[in-house]
Structure 1
Amino acid sequence: MSEPVPEILRKSMLLSGLSEANRAHVLKDALRRSYGAGETVFLQGEPARAVFIVLSGAVKLVRMTPSGAEAVVAIIGRGRSFAEAMVLRRTPYPVTAEAITACTLLQIDGTRLRQFLVENPEFAIDLLASTFVHLQGLVEQVEKLKAHSGVQRLAEFLAGLAEAEAGGCAVELPYSKRLIAGHLGMQPESLSRAFAKLRESGVESEGNRVLIADLEALRAVAAGER
């Protein structure tokens, strides 16, 4: 990567703790890759040879179950990285990565990254912390799937899209309702019922646009207070 390091990379969890010189070393042979919506970044079972950082757009990580169903493991947005653990362990990718929208990714060579870790123990500790944060996020996701109803999960998801702190607002769904359903651990028909239930709390869905009458009321639903 010969051009100046974008600000989004300076702030990414993977690289934010590095000095300018070390960051440049890690990114020396990094490549920008563009993908169209629906394009595959890598397939489940392929050797893990690179780590990726999302520069724009979004990527979903999915795992195919023995029955052939697709389970959405995570949705990776701008500034986040993925595939670190597999590259460090030199194991195959346990998931398939697919572009949700048109996106640009930075691809970092796994061999260079491992070599840098050996030479820089402090960076290894930072990367371990990054991996722990990701694992903690997955644990919280599983907890929500078990402890929260579908309506609560949807309410929290919608509230998280809002830029306002209170009052009414409109939000745009970042991807299809089918994918949102998978991300929330629901069937599409269950998501439709959850949207219908949220009408009682002032939420109206018009295609990919959602009107929220009262954010505080929506957050109360997410917390199980209503």
Structure 2
Amino acid sequence: MTDDPRRQIARNSMLMQSFSDAHTEALLQRSQWQSFRRGETLFLQGEDARAIHIVIGGWVKLYRITPSGGEAIVSVFSEGQSFGEAVALRGAPYPVSAEAVTECEVLRIPSAAVTDMLRQDPEIGINMLAATFAHLHSLVGQLEQLKAQTGAQRVAEFLLGLCNGAESPCEVTLPYDKTVIAGRLGIKPESLSRAFARLGTVGVKVNRNTATIEDIERLRDFSTSDPAGFWNKGG
């Protein structure tokens, strides 16, 4: 069914948006829709990569287990975002594990289906490169955040990303557990609590899984300001 909203989300993903209708339909015919409960594993670090995944609904985290046994969150993906392209096409082991952090649905595209299509039409490889570059760009952005912003500023940018063009005042729902938010932003859970408190001074109120933003522009100014001033003030 072409009017299936799940199929439309897949078609609009960065991975597929430049594919022809024929190529998209061919991939969808060979793919599987899978649902996961919160906390369920999609795949584990070290397993052979045999598929590319597109998130259709909900949120999925990619993480690594550190030498000390801790968990390091690499990224969190939401509706329309894909992951696993590079390793799936190489048939290499997954360098990360994937877990549903909310109830979610994903489209599992067998890597064999993509490689077969690449042999028929090498132009598809450009789309694959574009998706891989987008992931790399996202990781570079996260590294820049870690180096250039305070924890409170990272949280501010995270909240701004949830506003989706809304006007002030704005109320957003935190999409997943605060521990995952902290890991995604490279801060400790206790530091996240302090960051929320710090954001109270610029009009942000957090109550359980809801954040109310009094003035979006004020919060944006805070997120992009020189952090040196905040460090000097202990923020």
Q: TM-score, with normalisation over the residues of structure 1? A: 0.95
CA distance in 2, matches of 1:64, 1:200: 36
Q: How much does 1:163 deviate?
A: 3.5
Match of 1:68 in 2: 69
Please list, as runs of the form range in 1=range in 2, the aligned pairs for 1:59-98 lying within 5 A after superposition.
Answer: 59-98=60-99
Instruction: Indicate the SS of the match to 2:123.
Output: helix
Q: How much does 1:19 deviate?
A: 1.2
Please list, as runs of the form range in 1=range in 2, the aligned pairs for 1:1-226 lying within 5 A after superposition.
Answer: 3-4=1-2, 6-224=7-225
Structure 1 residues 33 and 193: alpha-carbon distance in aligned structure 2, compared to 1, 3 A threshold: same
Q: How much does 1:114 deviate?
A: 1.2
Amino acid at match of 1:17: S
1:44-100, Cα deviation, whole Å (9 max, x unpaired): 000001111111111000111111111111111001111111011111001000001
Q: How much does 1:113 deviate?
A: 1.0
CA distance in 2, matches of 1:205, 1:122: 47
Amino acid at match of 1:52: H
Q: CA RMSD in A?
A: 1.4
Amino acid at match of 1:48: A
Instruction: Indicate the SS of the match to 1:175.
Output: coil
Q: How much does 1:164 deviate?
A: 4.5
Q: How much does 1:28 deviate?
A: 2.0
1:10-39, Cα deviation, whole Å (9 max, x unpaired): 211111111111111222221111100000
Amino acid at match of 1:114: T
Instruction: Indicate the SS of the match to 2:72.
Output: strand
Structure 2: state its 5+ residue gaps: 231-235
Report percent identity of matched pairs. 48
Instruction: Indicate the SS of the match to 1:72.
Output: strand
Residues 60, 74 of structure 1: 8 Å contact kept: yes
Structure 1: state its 5+ residue gaps: none
CA distance in 2, matches of 1:191, 1:79: 27
Q: How much does 1:188 deviate?
A: 0.3
1:165-184, Cα deviation, whole Å (9 max, x unpaired): 54212111001111100000
CA distance in 2, matches of 1:118, 1:136: 27
CA distance in 1, matches of 2:210, 2:167: 18
CA distance in 2, matches of 1:155, 1:197: 10
Amino acid at match of 1:55: I
Instruction: Indicate the SS of the match to 1:142.
Output: helix
Q: Alignment length, in residue pairs?
A: 224
